[in-house]
Structure formats: C-alpha cells, structure tokens
Amino acid sequence: MAVAKTLIEFTLNGRKIKAEVAADRLLIDLLRDDLGLTGTKKGCGVGECGACTVILDGKAVDSCLVLALVVDGCNITTIEGLANNGVLHPLQQSFIDHGAVQCGFCTPGMILSAKALLDENPEPTRDEIKVAMSGNVCRCTGYKKIVEAVAAVSEGCKGECCHE
C-alpha cells in the first residue's frame, strides 16, 4: 500500500527546499536520509541528548521530536549552514580553540544550541550559558571547555559576530 505524502516547502541553511514527506516522517530523518545533511546526529531519539539539535525559526529544537510536516514554511539551520565560504563560524572555531571537541558527536548540537542562545542573548552570563546548553549531553569533555568556548565568542564579539 502506498503511503500518502505531503509536499512541504521550507528554507534550509538559506536555500529553498521542497520535499514530499509522509505524515510520520521526522525532521531528523528528512535532514539526514533524504537531504544528506549528516551533521545532525541521531542520538537517543527521545529528545534527551541534544545531538540532533537544529535551529528552527530561531529556536534550538531536537529534530528527533519534530515531524517534518511541521517545518512547512519555516527556516531551519543545521551545522552545515554555519560555515561561510569555507570559513568556520566563530562558535565552530571557538570550540576547536578551547578544546571543547573530543569525539565530536555532540558538537553540532552543542554549537547550534549556543548559536540560538547568542542570537537571542548576545552577552549571556556563564549561568545562562549552562542553562541554554543543559539539553545537550557530552560524554567526553565535560562541560567546562564548552561553556568557555561559548563565553569566549560572546565576550570576543560583543554580540556582533554570532549572527554570521
């Protein structure tokens, strides 16, 4: 039996996308399997680890909990959308510079949660950074270097470079 599909249109990393999706298709599967954007990681599948975090209309969301149908007309940013002409986004570079990356599995979700925070609050306190990052789990680095990496971008840019 054929599964009914619905045509959706959305903006992904600055590009207009059209896709036909089944009613039960998850955003993470659309991104990874259909569109080939594997930077968004499949972790727990229940919204606990944050590995699948993307920015949806300015908010960090777990793409494993979002039906693809919901993104019709929305704007999505994945980790692949941050670098600009081969130049890493300041958050990506800061994670490298501060040793906030080890195995790298959690890193895309961490960076996107941080970007959503800095887009909304360009000069957060360290406690605000910790709260914003609390939905992302890292099993390698601990969180000190991650918080330092986000704080360094905030302090170094004074809110100017996070919107790149």
Residue with tokens 């959305």, as numbered in its chain = 10
pLDDT on residue 89? 96
pLDDT on residue 3? 84
Give SS3 for 77: strand
More confident residue, 36 or 1: 36
Domain ranges in the chain are: 5-80, 90-157
pLDDT on residue 125? 96
- Across the range 59-68, mean pLDDT stands at 98
Amino acid at 13: N
CATH number for 90-157 (one of 2.40.240.10, 1.10.150.120, 3.20.20.70, 3.30.479.30): it is 1.10.150.120
Q: 49-59: b or e for each residue (b if 16 or more CB lie within 10 Å)?
A: bbbbbbbbeee
The CATH number of the structural domain formed by 5-80 is 3.10.20.30
> In which element (H, E) is residue 124 found?
none
- Across the range 22-29, mean pLDDT stands at 97
pLDDT on residue 10? 98
Q: Who's near 152: CB < 8 A, 6+ residues apart?
A: 94, 97, 98
> In which element (H, E) is residue 153 found?
helix 144-157
pTM, to two decimals: 0.92
**Is residue 162 very low, low, confident or very high in pLDDT (cuts 50, 70, 90)?**
low
**Which pLDDT tens digit goes with each residue over 107-158?**
999 999 999 999 999 999 999 999 999 999 998 877 999 999 999 999 876 5
Taking 70 as the threshold, does the pLDDT of residue 65 lie above it?
A: yes
